[in-house]
């Protein structure tokens, strides 16, 4: 029942019947969000990781969006390419290999899977558009994180344009956009007011009422979650998605504290 009854952003078999009650998670059964896909078992932020997350039972997959030198939206967690690609061997003279110094054409030359393990050499850094197209209708919703938006002036316009081109994701219950930059998320909310907004971090209780004017979720690290904090957020009409939880005992404790979603590298764990 986990994949049908309460899912925050799950696309049901009949696409037009996806429930608008996207945050109605069962009290003891939070929404299962695959962090950068099933990133414990596949290279993070790749199509392989997102597809595997679905097979492992995720209700939703999370990804990270950044921009290339030529303003193309691609999926990468780090500001540099060195950790998750073979950029050092392909472009040895361009250290420290910041993503923002490379065009999409150059990035397409990189192997984004072999660092994780043998058998993943075919993986490439996907664009946001490729991901939205490929993952449409696969039974999961999307938690889209915009990384360091201050480094990419205008990125909110480009993300909004890409989402409008892939309008399937704009139906109620299929998408949440989040960032650590709360001011940026207020700007994004004004641009796309129907898209739920998540704020990463742990705002002080005194800030919550102000943030609730535009935020739909407060998404703190799991170490800082208490039942009292969750209750305060719920009373203001927002939900709590916490990260990054890879231990079953932590999962059970957080579920008992009433969180609405748990972000994990291991979506097959629960």
- What the block records as the tokens of 134 is 């490929």
Give the integer Cα–Cα distance in Å for 182 and 188.
Answer: 10
- Residue 190 annotated as catalytic: no
Please name the residues in contact with 265: beta carbons below 8 A apart, sequence gap of 6 or more: 34, 35, 36, 38, 39, 40, 244, 246
Handedness of CA 124, 128, 132, 138 (dihedral sign): positive
Q: Give 224's contacts (C-beta < 8 A, 6+ positions apart).
A: 202
CA quadruple 25, 175, 48, 249: dihedral sign: negative
In degrees, to the nearest 5, what angle opens at C-alpha 211 toward C-alphas 142 and 258? 60
Do residues 192 and 219 touch, judged by C-beta distance below 8 A? no
Residue 77 annotated to the active site:
yes
Q: What is the DSSP string of 144-191?
A: EEEP-GGGSTTHHHHHHHHHHHTGGGGSTTSEEEEES-HHHHHHHHHH
Map residue 75 onto helix, strand or coil: strand
Q: Which of 71, 77, 120, 234 is catalytic?
A: 77
Give, for 130, the enclosing helix (H) or strand (E): helix 128-135
For residues 174 and 141, the answer to whether their CB atoms sit within 8 Å is yes
| Separation between Cα atoms, residue 38 and residue 51, nearest integer Å | 8
Residues noted as catalytic: 35, 77
């Amino acid at each position: 029942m986990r994949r049908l009854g309460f899912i925050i952003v799950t696309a049901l078999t009949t696409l037009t019947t996806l429930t608008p009650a996207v945050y109605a998670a069962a009290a003891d059964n939070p929404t299962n969000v695959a962090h950068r896909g099933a990133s414990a078992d596949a290279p993070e932020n790749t199509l392989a990781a997102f597809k595997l997350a679905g097979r492992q039972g995720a209700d939703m997959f999370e990804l990270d969006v950044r921009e290339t030198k030529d303003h193309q939206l691609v999926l990468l967690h780090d500001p540099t390419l060195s950790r998750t690609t073979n950029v050092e061997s392909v472009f040895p003279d361009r250290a420290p290999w910041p993503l923002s110094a490379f065009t999409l054409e150059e990035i397409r030359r990189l192997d984004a899977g072999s660092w994780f393990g043998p058998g993943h050499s075919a993986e490439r850094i996907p664009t946001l558009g490729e991901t939205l197209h490929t993952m449409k209708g696969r039974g999961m919703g999307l938690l889209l994180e915009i990384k360091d938006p201050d480094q990419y002036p205008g990125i909110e316009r480009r993300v909004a344009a890409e989402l409008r081109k892939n309008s399937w994701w704009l139906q109620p219950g299929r998408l949440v956009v989040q960032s650590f930059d709360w001011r940026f998320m207020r700007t994004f909310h004004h641009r796309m007011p129907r898209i739920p907004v998540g704020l990463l971090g742990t705002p002080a209780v005194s800030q919550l009422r102000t943030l609730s004017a535009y935020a739909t979720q407060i998404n703190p690290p799991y170490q800082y979650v208490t039942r009292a904090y969750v209750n305060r957020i719920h009373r203001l009409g927002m939900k709590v998605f916490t990260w990054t939880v890879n231990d079953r005992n932590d999962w059970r404790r957080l579920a008992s504290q009433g969180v609405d979603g748990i972000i994990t590298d291991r979506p097959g764990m629960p």
